[in-house]
Amino acid sequence: MRPPRSLPAIPIASPGSGRQTVRRSCGLRALVRPRRGDARLALLLVPLLGACTDLEYQGFLDRPIPITLQADVPLVQLLLDGGSAFTATLDSSTPLSVVDQGGSARRVQGELRLQDARAPEVTRFIFRNLDLFDLPARLVGLDPGIAIRGVLGANLLRHFVVRLSYADEGTVTLKDQIADTKENLASDCDPALLLGALGARPSCLGVWSTPPVGGGLVEIGGDSLELEGSRLVMPLCLLPDLFDPSPADETGPQRTSGVPATAVLATGQGVSVMSRSLLERLRASGVDIAEQGPVTLHVPYGSETATLVTITRMAAVSDETIDLGPCAELAHRRRLLVGSRTGVVGTDRDYQGASVALIQRSVVFAVVDDPRPLIQGLRQELAPFVGDVDVLLGGSFLSHFDVDLDYPGKRVILRCAEGQTPGACEVLPFCSFDETPRCPDRTGP
């Protein structure tokens, strides 16, 4: 990314004091090859515009901007060229920013203003030279759906670190960088305290390396566009065994358990989505999972028929060792936590521990058949770089966390949100046996 260049000041209204920031930046062109697929599905199913355009923006970085949360969907108010305000979803899985002006598929440019949801007369950010597309964007979420007229997608979000907080009524914060390394962020949490009781554990930061992936050619309005990868992918382990690290309950090594899956982060989806093949794998593991429905799931390009299921335990797990896979990584990390007393850590191949974000409460998923475009479009786009995508990870999971989408740093950072029931949300930071931060010492006290 080219270094930002200064621009003339653009008038902006914002309460309080703080530094106004004006930047220009330009994205790199991805080295990707065209792929087959339904190019008409231009919102969730195509990647980020690869052409290099200068984005101008002005606003107050590092300052939370009030948004609206509805059924775990983050909604923002936008103005385009001084027109009437309209509602848009903030969606990491939609690679293009969209304003529905009738669905002509033409490219639109203008001055786009991000308003304060609790003081609509106040502009918090101004964007210029952002490519918008006139594409249908009318409903999102489960039936009857949430009315929208736009999507703030990854071709804007990728210029920032986007902090999304679901607490209270919701905020989004745009930052230019998080300078701390994975080790710096993890060092704020003492791994030894994670061996304590569930109610006394510290609030930790987990870091996932997520270079945007995907890309290809798409046709919009008769124009063929080469598009840059924008998908943020996270490994998941669904329904792992329960784990209590207290010394009194140690019974030996933690075995690998759960069903692995691959997820694309989708902040604009209130309910997370899974493929039917993943549901069948979960059932094949011996778990009885009831389905409710059918229901209608609205996505910006149209709608899908789905059923609803509830998953009671799931973890996002980074890949820190030698490609163990998320469920084996989770078991490895659990062995590191209790290794100082059980003496089993020495049998592992690595003394490095993955970041883990574990939810132990109900997370609702919409189940969509594998042949449907919502699933197949992502799989076609990401193959062969990523194995089959099984999940769009939306607000039903992400709302338990404070989420940093660190596009410049090519990573995602999660911390459990305040007010969680003890044990419902757990983040284990990265750790290392011989560096800071250290995993619990396998040799014991």
| Residues 190 and 242 both lie in one domain | yes
Average pLDDT over residues 320-340: 82
The residue with greater pLDDT, 426 or 114, is: 114
Instruction: Indicate if the pLDDT at residue 46 is higher than 90.
Output: no
- Is residue 1 assigned to a domain? no
The residue with greater pLDDT, 297 or 169, is: 297
Average pLDDT over residues 1-7: 31
Instruction: Indicate if the pLDDT at residue 31 is higher than 50.
Output: no
The answer to which of 160-174, 187-201, 347-361 has the lowest mean pLDDT is 187-201
- Is residue 60 assigned to a domain? yes
- Is residue 275 assigned to a domain? yes
Which domain-ending residue is among 142, 175, 208?
175
The residue with greater pLDDT, 206 or 345, is: 206
Q: What is the CATH number of the domain that holds 153?
A: 2.40.70
| Residues 151 and 221 both lie in one domain | no
Q: Checking phi first, is residue 433 left (phi over 0); if not, alpha (psi -120 to 50) or beta?
A: alpha
Q: Mean pLDDT of all residues in the chain?
A: 82
Instruction: Indicate if the pLDDT at residue 227 is higher than 80.
Output: no
Please tell me what DSSP assigns to residue 202.
P
| The predicted structure's pLDDT at residue 440 | 64
| The predicted structure's pLDDT at residue 207 | 96
Average pLDDT over residues 62-88: 96
Which domain-ending residue is among 175, 200, 235?
175
Average pLDDT over residues 267-286: 97
- Is residue 437 assigned to a domain? no
| Residues 230 and 268 both lie in one domain | yes
CB 268 within 8 A of CB 374: no
Domain carrying residue 148: 21-175
| The predicted structure's pLDDT at residue 246 | 58
- Is residue 15 assigned to a domain? no
| Residues 285 and 355 both lie in one domain | yes
The 10 Å CB-count burial string (b at 16+, else e) for 101-137 is beeebeebebebbbbbbeeeebbbbbbbebbbbbbbb
| The predicted structure's pLDDT at residue 244 | 66
| Residues 225 and 345 both lie in one domain | yes
| Residues 104 and 212 both lie in one domain | no
Report residue 375 as tokens.
């699933």
Average pLDDT over residues 197-201: 52
| Residues 283 and 356 both lie in one domain | yes
Confidence of residue 145 (pLDDT cuts 50, 70, 90): very high
First to last CA, the chain: 48
* Main-chain phi, psi angles of 88, to 5 degrees: -135, 150
Tell me if residue 192 falls in helix, strand or coil: helix
| The predicted structure's pLDDT at residue 17 | 33
Q: CB under 8 Å to 269, separation ≥6 — which residues? A: 73, 91, 93, 140, 141, 299, 392, 394, 395
Average pLDDT over residues 331-344: 70
Which domain-ending residue is among 147, 175, 203?
175
| The predicted structure's pLDDT at residue 225 | 79
- Is residue 10 assigned to a domain? no
Dump pLDDT digits (tens) for 111-130.
999 999 999 999 999 999 99
| Residues 168 and 187 both lie in one domain | no
Instruction: Indicate if the pLDDT at residue 134 is higher than 90.
Output: yes
| The predicted structure's pLDDT at residue 409 | 95
| Residues 343 and 310 both lie in one domain | yes
The residue with greater pLDDT, 31 or 60, is: 60
| Residues 115 and 199 both lie in one domain | no
- In whole angstroms, what is the distance from residue 191 CA to residue 354 CA? 12
- How big is the chain by its Cα radius of gyration, in Å? 22
- Is residue 445 assigned to a domain? no
| The predicted structure's pLDDT at residue 387 | 83
The residue with greater pLDDT, 251 or 291, is: 291
| The predicted structure's pLDDT at residue 194 | 63
Of all residues in the chain, the percent with pLDDT exceeding 70 is: 79
The domain total for the chain is 2
Instruction: Indicate if the pLDDT at residue 45 is higher than 80.
Output: no
Sign of CA dihedral 61, 407, 268, 48: positive
Q: What is the CATH number of the domain that holds 345?
A: 2.40.70.10
- Is residue 386 assigned to a domain? yes
| The predicted structure's pLDDT at residue 200 | 53
H/E run at residue 278: helix 276-284
User: DSSP alpha helices (H): ranges in 137-268?
Assistant: 154-157, 182-186
| The predicted structure's pLDDT at residue 434 | 72
Secondary-structure breakdown of the chain: helix, strand, coil percentages, each rounded to the nearest 5:
15, 35, 50
Average pLDDT over residues 332-352: 67
| Residues 272 and 386 both lie in one domain | yes
| Residues 200 and 129 both lie in one domain | no
Instruction: Indicate if the pLDDT at residue 41 is higher than 80.
Output: no
Amino acid sitting at position 407: Y
Dump pLDDT digits (tens) for 378-387.
999 998 888 8
Confidence of residue 26 (pLDDT cuts 50, 70, 90): very low
